[in-house]
Amino acid sequence: MIYLIKPLIVNITIIFSLMFNANLFFPFSKRKPLTFKQQTILGLFSAFSAKLCMLYPIETLEDTNFDFRMIPILLVTLYGGWYPGLLCTAIVVIIRYSIGGEYVYVGIAVSIMAWGIGLLFRSVFLKSSNKVLYGMMVISFYYLGYIFILFSTVPFLNINFYMVYFLAFGITFTALIYTVEKLIIANQQFDETLYLDKLSTVGQMAAAFAHEIRNPITTVRGFIQFINNDTKDEKLKQFAPLILEELDRTNKIITNYLTVARPTNFSLTYIDVNKVLQDSVDLIRPFGSYRNVTIDLKLEGEHFIYSDELHLKQALMNIIKNGIEAVDEEQGGYVTIHKQTGEEKGTIVIEFTDNGVGMTEGQLEKIGLPYYTTKSKGTGLGSMITNRLIHEMKGKIQYESKVHIGTKVTVILPTIKNTS
Ligand code: ADP
Ligand code: MG
């Protein structure tokens, strides 16, 4: 049996190497249907590998050769369709016919049968989730016909030979299906990486643009302030604050946009929620004092989450800022922040309550929509960004509100460790 190993290895190597080459020319993919030209190339490619297999037969019985030429036919029909399969089969049949000999029609019949079996099982094969298993079934059906033809036409060869031949045939065939499937997945991942890369390039370009626009705005702002200080022009005096306000608004939109444009820049770490809340409150407290709003922070227990610290801070500050802005400046008011362990295991709940203007049902529905704002100088992006960041952290956010009474925003986040 040792003498069989060499031609077997040659046949297996031929098929595998040509398959990898085909994948180089047009990467195997589930999504893109092959064009007519690609199908033709695929048909010729597999015909070529079948031809090479025929050059190195595993066993010869007078003029009859046992080789793996049916594997390319089966595979190309299953994956490529009837046309490349037919092309490959036709070429194999012509070559086999030109070799001639006593068993020429047997050789032709088993080749055509490979095409027929491939066609028969193709549609179910492509839909099946376990292609390797289904491939084994296809090959079993093929064996049935193959063995039947052999027994009824060709004198019986050594049983050991048949066993080695059919075993190697089956293993090669299923290994090829396995490899094709792996290649399809690898190609898909490659495509996705390219796509994500493009997206992040666009995001970075947009961010760079935004950044570039900010610099001239700062210059213009400075000059307007400068001119405004010692001008006698009434009109300029009247409109300068408006210009400045609009410039600030533009700046704010750009800042918000920068956060939207770079959603993928997540740097995940273990975060102490208490610290983030304390930091956020410290940062925003001056704004609260300026608007006559006291901020009250209640922290129950220690909680850690695995997330991006800057994003979490930004999300929380947006909520607190909205609370402060909702409060009537003349009367003043409060925003309380209460953090505790959630009812659901492995969660924390942070509640933000304010006694501001509140929202109607209709307003509640619209909150979080891009550019929805009721403020003359609002951007309508804050809540949208917050919602998105919280969702990216696998958390939830709920809004409850009563007009003239106030608003409660509840944020639920998954924790990693619960020490309370
Ligand atoms: P912006 O603050 O720029 O207006 P947001 O997306 O942060 O944009 O908020 C959208 C709108 O939702 C606000 O204009 C406001 O009408 C409403 N809103 C948000 N939070 C509150 C709150 N705590 N109390 C009352 N209204 C709120
Ligand atoms: Mg806001």
Q: How far is the CA of 392 from the centre of ligand 1 (A)?
A: 21
Q: How far is the CA of 399 from the centre of ligand 1 (A)?
A: 11
Q: Ligand 1, closest atom to CA 377? A: 3
88-132 residue pLDDT tens: 999 999 998 888 777 888 888 999 999 999 999 998 998 888 899
Ligand nearest to the CA of 388: 1
Q: DSSP for 277-296, please give it.
A: HHHHHHHHHHHHHHTTEEEE
Q: How far is the CA of 199 from the centre of ligand 1 (A)?
A: 30
Give me the pLDDT at residue 117, please.
93
Q: How far is the CA of 374 from the centre of ligand 2 (A)?
A: 10
Ligand 1, atom 7: closest residue by C-alpha: 382
Which string of b and e fits 202-239 if b means at least 16 CB within 10 Å? ebeeebeebeeeeeeeeeebeebeeebeeeeeeeeeee
Angle at 402 between CA 400 and CA 403, to 5 degrees: 140
Ligand nearest to the CA of 358: 1
pTM higher than 0.85 for the full model? Answer: no
Chain mean position to CA 178? 23
Average pLDDT (345-357) is: 95
Residue 143 confidence (pLDDT) above 80? yes
Ligand nearest to the CA of 372: 1
Average pLDDT (381-394) is: 84
Q: How far is the CA of 367 from the centre of ligand 1 (A)?
A: 7
190-227 residue pLDDT tens: 877 776 666 566 666 767 777 788 889 999 999 999 98
282-317 residue pLDDT tens: 888 888 998 999 999 999 999 999 988 878 888 898
Q: How confident is the model at residue 8 (pLDDT cuts 50, 70, 90)?
A: confident
Ligand 1, atom 11: closest residue by C-alpha: 373
Which string of b and e fits 74-93 if b means at least 16 CB within 10 Å? bbbbbbbbebbbbbbbebbb
Pocket of ligand 1 (CB under 6 A): 318, 322-323, 326, 354, 356-359, 363, 367, 372-375, 378-384, 407
Residue 96 parent element (H or E)? helix 82-99
32-67 residue pLDDT tens: 678 899 899 989 989 999 999 888 888 766 666 788
Give me the pLDDT at residue 388, please.
80
Helices of type H across 263-333: 273-290, 309-326
